[in-house]
């Protein structure tokens, strides 16, 4: 099932069946600090980028995912961007559920790229 909101589409391969509340994707460059004691400011070299995709759904997941599960393919197509975020092999790194009396239950699932075996 693909989730679509104002032209942005999230497609997990597991077919989660519920209402999508929010989507976020981040990329951290993980710069390497190469500062010497004689430098007057911090100096950095490029590191290895880290990508993370989080989405929040209403209620519980169906079918359920668990931490360390691998989603075969996770595609995030932004409505206003030239490049999609595609994770071929997306490791579930965090699942967080919340809710309180009088409010809906929400579940946030975070994915990071992983090594997949053939």
pLDDT tens digits along 12-65: 776 666 778 888 888 899 999 999 999 999 999 999 988 898 888 888 765 678
Number of domains within the chain: 1
Task: Write down the pLDDT at residue 1.
Answer: 60
Least confident of 86-90, 104-108, 109-113: 86-90
User: Would 36 be classed as within a structural domain?
Assistant: no
Answer whether residue 99 shows pLDDT above 80. yes
- CATH code, 71: 2.40.10
User: Would 88 be classed as within a structural domain?
Assistant: yes
Range of the domain at 50: 3-31+46-113
User: Would 54 be classed as within a structural domain?
Assistant: yes
Kindly indicate the confidence band of residue 70, based on its pLDDT and cuts at 50, 70 and 90. Answer: confident
User: Would 71 be classed as within a structural domain?
Assistant: yes
Which residues contact residue 43 at a Cβ distance below 8 angstroms, ignoring those fewer than 6 apart? Answer: 33, 34, 35, 36
User: Would 19 be classed as within a structural domain?
Assistant: yes
- The whole-angstrom separation of Cα 97 and Cα 107 is 4
Contact 16, 57 (CB under 8 A): yes
User: Would 40 be classed as within a structural domain?
Assistant: no
User: Would 21 be classed as within a structural domain?
Assistant: yes
User: Would 97 be classed as within a structural domain?
Assistant: yes
């Amino acid at each position: 099932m693909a989730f679509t909101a104002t032209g942005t589409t999230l497609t997990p391969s597991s077919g989660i069946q519920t209402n999508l509340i929010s989507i976020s994707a981040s990329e951290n460059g993980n710069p390497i600090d190469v500062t010497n004691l004689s430098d007057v400011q911090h100096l950095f070299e490029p590191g290895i980028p880290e990508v993370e995709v989080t989405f929040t759904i209403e209620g519980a997941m169906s079918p359920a995912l668990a931490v360390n599960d691998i989603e075969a393919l996770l595609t995030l197509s932004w409505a206003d961007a030239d490049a999609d975020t595609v994770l071929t092999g997306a490791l579930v790194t965090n699942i967080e559920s919340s809710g309180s009396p009088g409010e809906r239950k929400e579940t946030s699932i975070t994915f990071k790229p992983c090594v997949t075996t053939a």
